[in-house]
Chains A and B, each alone.
Chain A
Amino acid sequence: MLPHLDAAYNFARYLTRNPDDAADVVQEASIRAFRFFGGFKGGSVRTWLLTIVRNTAYTWMATHRRGSVVASVEDYGIERPLEAFAAVPWERLPDDPETRLLLAEDRAALMDVIDRLAPEFREVLVLREIEELSYREIAEVTSVPVGTVMSRLARARRQVQENWRRRVALEGGGR
């Protein structure tokens, strides 16, 4: 239960990558949401709350972790043509994705891949795959046009595929 606040906390966890920061962000966002109800223009309550969480998180990180977190796409060195991400083999996983991913270390590795995504990519991925928001709703939460959501999501996925493949290759194909 408690669906929206759980969603808020989960989103904050992925944005801040830290439980303590996420707790602070959700607390502040909840108070803002509670106080500034007037800003709510209708639509989905969850989307509205997630928007506040996101704004709070980025503001919070900018003040509390000066300079270290609000890195741009360029800082992560992944502003590359879409073709660079294309045709990446999703090695091994097609064979038996469940068995492989059920292993705890693989889960941790996948999380690590997601954690290393640029924030712009990580947030669209979380909003789409966990919250299952539509492009339009994601655009609303992240304050960017739908077209940008589309391309960020596509890149986020290719980035995960590529980094996962690289990690698997690094492991040397054991198992």
Chain B
Amino acid sequence: MSCAEKCLLVDLALDDELDAAGLAEFERHLQECPDCAVAFARQKALRGALRTQMPRHKLPSALVQRIREALPDEVPAPEPEPQAAAPTVTTVEYPIWPSVATKARLKLLTSGLGGALAAALATVWFMHVTPEERMTKAVVESHVRALMSGRMLDVASADPKTIRPWFTGRLDVSPPVKDLSAHGFELVGARLDYIDNRRAAALVYRHNEHMITLYIFATPSAAMSESEVVVRQGYAVCHWSRHGLTDWVVSDMDPDQLEHFEDLVTGSV
């Protein structure tokens, strides 16, 4: 026989909605009611599963652009009042400044609101890190983490014929794996990685003393593209998309060498 009235308490306790007295009473109740104790344990397990497993969908970058373009251009501007207490929004880590027109609108909004409030809303528009910047950071972090933890590989092999089938069932694409040993890039192995809420094949190559991680993502709708090599935290990073796949490469090699590696992988040499 379950304890229907207390069942709601299980949820309230789980959601931090009980005050101290209520929580104490609930805890006493758990001691004497195995049904509720079990229910509470299950609810906690469910919470853990939901919070770790429910996808958090990120705003697509194309949509940010669309929204900016869709915003009205002509807004009659009232006299902006100086907001003495307004915190500045110039201290964000990677501000990508919006257009002048948008800035004007933000100023307009600022004038109509309490400063802190307007600043809070403004961060909605200002604190946008481009997806490219975010991915660059994510792949560098993944590469460094793998190096530091020593967990570079799930499968160690220099043979593409071993590595490629290993991803079957682990990824929704079969990543192309190239043997580039003739060019001085030795295939070491691969692992499955999880970056920016997506699964990726991470192929690990070695060039002299340098480790290279080549991440391959399935991106069915990505247009053909190719980036410049950028250097972040001492690591050279570049990426490109072709045939429904997007590759990101991270290494401590020189940018020139990384470009050479890219050419070898994409087959343009």
Chain A contacts to B: CB under 8 angstroms: 1-6, 8-10, 13-14, 19, 22-23, 26-27, 30-31, 34-35, 37-38, 40, 42, 45, 49, 82-83, 86-90, 93-94, 97-98, 101, 104, 106-107, 110-111, 114, 125-126, 128-130, 134-135, 150-151, 153-154, 157, 160-161
Q: Which 8 A-B pairs have the closest CB atoms?
A: A86-B2, A90-B42, A9-B59, A13-B57, A10-B57, A1-B127, A4-B124, A154-B11
**Given contacts A26-B63, A45-B121, A125-B50, is CB(A34)–CB(B105) below 8 Å?**
yes
Residues of A within 8 A of B128 (CB): 1-2
Q: How far is it, in angstroms, between the C-alpha of A134 and the C-alpha of B16 when the chains are bound? A: 8
Residues of B within 8 A of A40 (CB): 113, 117
Contact A37 B109, beta carbon cutoff 8 Å: yes
Residues of A within 8 A of B71 (CB): 30-31, 34
Q: How far is it, in angstroms, between the C-alpha of A110 and the C-alpha of B124 when the chains are bound? A: 31
Q: How far is it, in angstroms, between the C-alpha of A37 and the C-alpha of B78 when the chains are bound? A: 14
CB distance from B131 to the nearest CB of A (A): 10
CB distance from A119 to the nearest CB of B (A): 16
A-B contacts, 24 of them at CB < 8 A, read A1-B127, A5-B64, A5-B67, A10-B56, A14-B57, A19-B60, A26-B63, A34-B72, A45-B124, A87-B2, A93-B49, A97-B49, A98-B52, A101-B49, A101-B52, A104-B199, A106-B53, A110-B50, A111-B54, A126-B54, A130-B56, A150-B17, A154-B7, A157-B43
Contact A128 B70, beta carbon cutoff 8 Å: no
Q: How far is it, in angstroms, between the C-alpha of A90 and the C-alpha of B40 when the chains are bound? A: 11
Q: How far is it, in angstroms, between the C-alpha of A130 and the C-alpha of B45 when the chains are bound? A: 15
Residues of A within 8 A of B17 (CB): 134-135, 150
Q: Is B8 an interface residue (CB 8 A)?
A: yes
Q: Is B48 an interface residue (CB 8 A)?
A: yes
Q: Is B148 an interface residue (CB 8 A)?
A: no
Contact A23 B66, beta carbon cutoff 8 Å: yes
Give which listed residue, B46, B72, B123, B127, contacts A90 with CB less than 8 A.
B46
Q: A1-B129, A19-B57 are in contact. List 19 more A-B contacts (CB 8 A).
A: A2-B59, A9-B60, A27-B67, A31-B71, A37-B109, A40-B117, A45-B117, A82-B4, A83-B2, A86-B39, A89-B42, A94-B42, A111-B54, A126-B54, A129-B51, A129-B54, A153-B15, A157-B43, A157-B46
